[in-house]
Amino acid sequence: MGDNAKFSINGEDYEYPVLTGTVGPDVVDIRKLYGQTGAFTYDPGFTSTASCESELTFIDGGEGVLLHRGYPIEQLAEQSSFMEVAHLLLRGELPTADEYSDFTNTITRHTMVHEQLRGFYQGFRRDAHPMAIMCGVVGALSAFYHDSTDINDPAQRMIASHRLVAKMPTIAAMAYKYSIGQPFVYPDNDLSYTGNFLRMTFGVPAEPYEVHPAIEKAMDRIFILHADHEQNASTSTVRLAGSSGANPFACIAAGIACLWGPAHGGANEAALNMLKEIGHPDRIPEYIARAKDKDDPFRLMGFGHRVYKNYDPRASVMQETVREVFETLKVKDPVFDVALQLEEMALNDPYFIDKKLFPNVDFYSGIILSAIGFPTSMFTVLFALARTVGWVAQWNEMISDPGQRIGRPRQLYTGPAKRDYVSIDKR
Ligand code: CMC
């Protein structure tokens, strides 16, 4: 703990403890501020507010560092697998060989969904956005699995967590199949987590499907890059929903709803749409000018981040993965050239330099996903699939924290002061 922070209001002096984490900025503990001073703090968007204590993920936005339980994302992306990272996030450590096989076996045995859940898909129009389907179907899981909803029992919490991680690829693939009018494909437990997802998405019952190892590896890496990201909007939504003691499946559905927005996970879809709209490097200056124009709401999608004021380390790995996938599939996409040149132009432009705006994880991911064969409407679904492990790990951490209380922000009220009701004929 560091020195106390001194605070003065209405002529009175107060002191608040300064907490220090393993790494990262000091945190002034103002929990007693309101009780002692009668004042709140004002921080819309939570730019200066830590909402919880966490051991899961650390970001140094200035340096462009992302660690999961201490391990740099670049090392995990390069050397690990999504199942290992899932174990790391959920259970606290990288697994031993036995733990790994036990964990993957557990997840694999939960990949099927209740047969009745299939009926939920039929309720959606066939042109429904897959994220709309995800919000509905994942929320509906809360009506199916009643034996894992005592959130005060750590074993039940872990079962719910395993179910969510395991079923998300099945549910996501079914959302895709429904949108293209193909039959659902059941999971094949002989395949890896990621291989199974690819088969359920791109396979058809009429013929065998062979998982391409390089694509499986690239997809697995994309899942790793999205697995967790500290207290972002959707994770905070999951925590806030969970803080009331809500059903775990419903909490994750709340996270999916939040993720969908274009300022958050929806940016991968928006970024690729933007790159396609630009279409040719000659048009980049026009779009850069629009992004800088205060009177134009347009922003460069896949650019900028609340926390990173440097290159998002996930974007570097993603850019490298685009090259690998293109090489493997022997394809080229002019959109990648547009993206590379857009990045270069923006990074040399004083507007983006001054505001410290760099490419984020969403800038390049869509180019890879599109090369693999996913339509843009599935991009955010894939983000949700991978982020589910982060959400459940954060939710577990919150519930097991003895200091956890229901989340309940305050406000700066600027509406009318108390006034008397006037009947309608006198207004
Ligand atoms: N293009 C142009 N200007 C931008 C951009 C952008 N992409 N991002 C931020 N700015 C400007 C913004 O106009 C503001 O300027 P000023 O100070 O003159 O008003 C300044 O930079 C700070 O922006 P902000 O909106 O106050 O920053 P924020 O921390 O609230 O927002 C953000 C962060 C990610 C929502 C924002 O950068 C953005 O909208 N980016 C585009 C959407 C995007 O790529 N989102 C994905 C984020 S990473 C993955 C994820 O979270 O899912």
Q: 19-57 burial by CB neighbour count: b if 16+ within 10 A, else e?
A: eeeeeeeebbebeebeeeeeeeeeeeeeeeeeebebebb
pLDDT at 146: 84
362 is catalytic: yes
Counting from 1 in the atom list of ligand 1, the atom nearest the Cα of 291 is 2
Pocket of ligand 1 contains residue 264 by CB under 6 Å: yes
- The string of DSSP codes covering 101-120 is HHHHHHHHTT----GGGHHH
Phi, psi values for residue 71, rounded to 5°: -85, 130
Counting from 1 in the atom list of ligand 1, the atom nearest the Cα of 312 is 48
Count Cβ atoms within 10 A of the Cβ of residue 156 and give its class: 0-12 exposed, 13-18 middle, 19 or more buried: middle
pLDDT tens profile 336-346: 999 999 999 99
Look at residue 78 and tell me whether its pLDDT is greater than 60.
Answer: yes
Q: Cβ distance 338 to 280 under 8 Å?
A: yes
pLDDT at 94: 98
Look at residue 159 and tell me whether its pLDDT is greater than 90.
Answer: yes
For residues 202-211, average pLDDT: 96
Pocket of ligand 1 contains residue 163 by CB under 6 Å: no
Residue 385, helix vs strand vs coil: helix
Look at residue 277 and tell me whether its pLDDT is greater than 70.
Answer: yes
Q: Of the ranges 36-50, 77-91, 320-334, which one carries the lowest mean pLDDT score?
A: 320-334
280 is catalytic: no
pLDDT at 148: 76
pLDDT-derived band of residue 233, with 50, 70 and 90 as boundaries?
Answer: very high
Look at residue 23 and tell me whether its pLDDT is greater than 70.
Answer: yes
User: Helices 82-91 and 379-400 sit at what angle, rounded to 10 degrees?
Assistant: 20
Q: Cβ distance 56 to 397 under 8 Å?
A: yes
Pocket of ligand 1 contains residue 28 by CB under 6 Å: no
For residues 355-372, average pLDDT: 94
Pocket of ligand 1 contains residue 361 by CB under 6 Å: yes
pLDDT at 149: 82
Closest C-alpha to 85, from 194, 218, 224, 232: 224
Look at residue 1 and tell me whether its pLDDT is greater than 80.
Answer: no
Return left, alpha or beta for 152; rule: phi > 0 is left, psi -120 to 50 is alpha, else beta. alpha
DSSP state of 359: B
Look at residue 363 and tell me whether its pLDDT is greater than 90.
Answer: yes
Mean pLDDT of the chain: 95
pLDDT-derived band of residue 384, with 50, 70 and 90 as boundaries?
Answer: very high
**Minimum CA distance residue for ligand 1 atom 21:** 355
User: What's the pTM?
Assistant: 0.95
For residues 50-76, average pLDDT: 97
Start-to-end CA distance of the chain, whole Å, equals 58
Phi, psi values for residue 66, rounded to 5°: -135, 120
- The string of DSSP codes covering 125-185 is -TT--HHHHHHHHHHHGGGT-GGG--TT-HHHHHHHHHHHHHHHHHHHHHHHHHHHTPPP-
**Minimum CA distance residue for ligand 1 atom 37:** 304
Q: Of the ranges 35-49, 142-156, 283-297, which one carries the lowest mean pLDDT score?
A: 142-156
Look at residue 201 and tell me whether its pLDDT is greater than 90.
Answer: yes
**Which residue has tokens 């709340």?**
254
- The Cα–Cα gap between 367 and 384 comes to 18
- The Cα–Cα gap between 109 and 158 comes to 14
Give the Å distance between the CA of 208 and the centre of ligand 1: 44
Catalytic site residue from 305, 312, 349, 425: 305
Catalytic site residue from 362, 401, 420, 425: 362
pLDDT at 2: 60
Look at residue 281 and tell me whether its pLDDT is greater than 60.
Answer: yes
Give the Å distance between the CA of 64 and the centre of ligand 1: 16
Look at residue 50 and tell me whether its pLDDT is greater than 60.
Answer: yes
User: Helices 130-140 and 154-180 sit at what angle, rounded to 10 degrees?
Assistant: 140
